[in-house]
Amino acid sequence: MNEWTLEQWNDHKNSGQLTMFYIYTPLCGTCQVASKMMQVVQEMKPFSIGQANINYLENFAMDYHIESVPCLIIAKGGTVYKKIYAFQSVPFILETIKSIDEQVVV
């Protein structure tokens, strides 16, 4: 996954395609496990996925009501449909992504 700026996130989010933004902090052990899961997800599905260190995103946590990290924000057509905080498993993440992609028509 590539590091995204807020401008890149907004461009991808508003593109009409399913987009994910993975939010983390480098010293978080749970974030390191979730990062590995997200790498697997990215290799399995051709969706647009970016990541960012929450420490460098001014006001982003407040604007998006981020409760904790790791956090996966799933958006399509400019709308955020889900935030995942509990990265239970790769199949769980894939199923969540699939259900949003199939239900939301832009």
Q: Which domains does the chain have, with CATH numbers?
A: 2-100 (3.40.30.10)
For residue 58, pLDDT over 80 is answered with no
DSSP letter, residue 55: G
Task: Give the pLDDT of residue 105.
Answer: 82
Full strand arrangement of the beta sheet holding 19-24: 2-3, 48-53, 19-24, 71-76, 79-84
How many CA atoms, within 13 angstroms, populate the side-chain half-sphere of residue 64?
26
> How confident is the prediction for the chain on average, in pLDDT?
94
Using CA atoms, how far residue 44 sits from 2, 11, 25, in Å, is 16, 23, 24
